[in-house]
Amino acid sequence: MDFRVDMFIHQRWMESRLEISDDIFEEGDDYVTLLPEFFDNLWQPDPYFLNSKIAEIATLTHKFTSVTLYKNKTVRYAARMHAIIACQMEFQLYPMDIQVCPIYIESFSSNNQKVKLRWSDSGVTLNPELKLLQYNLGQPLELEESDGYMPEKVGNFSRLTVYFRFERQIGHHLIQTFAPSSLVVMLSWFSFWLGLDAIPGRVTLLVTCMLTLVTMFTGLRADIPPVAYVKALDLWMAGCMVSVFAALAEFVVVKVLDVQYQYQVNRIPKVLPMRISNMEKGQCATVASWEGGAVRSRKATQTPTTPGQTSLQGNGGPPKPARRQSLLSVAWTDTDTGVEKIMWREIDKVSRAVFPILFFVFVLLYWPILLMKSS
């Protein structure tokens, strides 16, 4: 990763070996601007950008440089330059990352015993009209003077360092990423209000939400260099995609439960109505009932009761109600209201509250942690 800098470089040093005649200065001036051919005969420091990929003096019809000589033997050199500076950027907190990129200026051939680099009183100043599209440039800039050992040149060399602090603007990503992805997740919750009689609409809604997030995620990854670690934006998009995928998985579950419920309802017919006529004394009757799709029969015996009443008992004792154990897993009867509860409908009702709550918990955990780490 790198960034480009257009800048004016000013160097000032004292050349005590010069012998200056006053004739070269105009009346009332204490300085003179030298021609390039005169400047080439002077001793010059040789600073360079240690971490630059490209650094060159700007040119149009000629190089934009100037050399000024003062009466006190001070030489001032100025040039317009542009450079591409390498920077080791970290994107773990993207898109709320803060990049600190240094520029190292070091003498190339003269060690710190011969040349000592110092920042001027003004240091590094920025153009007040400078505006970056994605970053805010932190102020003030941090300046540093140090000596660094260079094993390639076998010696200690004077070094100047300026640190640029780039703070990424979150507004663009709030509008282009976070807000749309949140709306897509909320749109997927509408599927819980669609019954299973609207299967094409429900499937289309959830699949469209998933494909929208995948397309959005793919476009965002093209904006930054590929890195091997997980970024904060990856976690957000993963949370959104998991939420939509969970809604799609919930639909599959309720559809399977509905199929089982319909199968059990159609498999268990109603008990056949039977009318038992008055039986003669000593005569044996048979009671038959449908239970679970098979016919079961038992003998009925007459038990003496009060006059005018007759009761039947099977060999196994009093008749028991038909069991529906296989149906209890997908439907049951509310003991309070007596209304039949169907499992898949109850899951849809619970999902209408659980899915928004879980997503809001994810948002409440994501943003405070991200803000805390970025600060």
- 74-101 tens-digit pLDDT: 999 999 999 999 999 999 999 899 999 9
What is the phi-psi region of residue 282: left when phi exceeds 0, alpha when psi lies from -120 to 50, beta otherwise? left
CA distance 234 to 285: 75
pLDDT classification of 205: cutoffs 50, 70, 90: very high
For 280-308, how does the pLDDT look when each residue is reduced to its tens digit (9 = 90+)? Answer: 444 444 444 444 444 444 444 444 444 44
Is the pLDDT at 34 greater than 60? The verdict is yes
Structure tokens, 105: 């200026």
Q: Examine the fold and report which residue of 143, 168, 193 is the final residue of a domain before the chain moves on.
A: 168
What average pLDDT score do residues 36-51 get?
85
Contact 98, 165 (CB under 8 A): yes
Q: Measure the CA–CA gap between 269 and 105, rounded to whole angstroms.
A: 90
Q: What is the pLDDT of residues 135-182, one digit of tens each?
A: 888 887 899 999 888 888 788 899 999 999 999 999 889 998 999 999
Q: 0.75 cut: is pTM over it? A: no
Beta bridge partners of 303: 311
Residues 156 and 200 in one domain: no
Rounded mean pLDDT of 104-123? Answer: 90
190 & 217 share domain: yes
Domain of 141 in residue numbering reads as 2-168
Position with higher pLDDT, 86 vs 221 = 86
Measured over all CA atoms, what is the biggest interatomic distance in the chain, rounded to whole angstroms?
Answer: 154
Instruction: Summarize the confidence of residues 107-119 as an average pLDDT.
Output: 90
Mean pLDDT (whole number) for 261-278? 59
Domain count, the chain: 2
* 107: CATH: 2.70.170.10
Residues 16, 132: one domain?
yes
C-alpha distances in Å from residue 31, one per residue of 43, 137, 185: 18, 36, 70
Judge whether 231 lies within some domain.
yes
**Quick one: 226 and 369 in the same domain?**
yes
Which string of DSSP letters, residue by residue, matches 318-342? SPPPPP-GGGTTTEEE-TTT--EEE
Cα 186 to Cα 356: distance, rounded to the nearest angstrom? 8
Question: Could you say which DSSP state residue 232 is in?
Answer: H
pLDDT of 317 strictly over 60: no
CATH number of residue 364's parent domain: 1.20.58.390
Q: How far is CA 132 from CA 54, 85, 137, 175, in A?
A: 21, 16, 8, 18
**Domain identity same for 15 and 159:** yes
Instruction: State whether 222 and 365 are in the same domain.
Output: yes
Position 270 pLDDT exceeds 70 = no
Residue 313: Cβ within 10 Å count? 15
Residue that is written with structure tokens 């169907």 in the block:
342
Residues near 356 by beta carbon (within 8 Å), at least 6 away in sequence: 186, 189
- Label residue 133 by pLDDT band (50, 70, 90): confident
Predicted confidence band of residue 242 (pLDDT cuts 50, 70, 90): very high
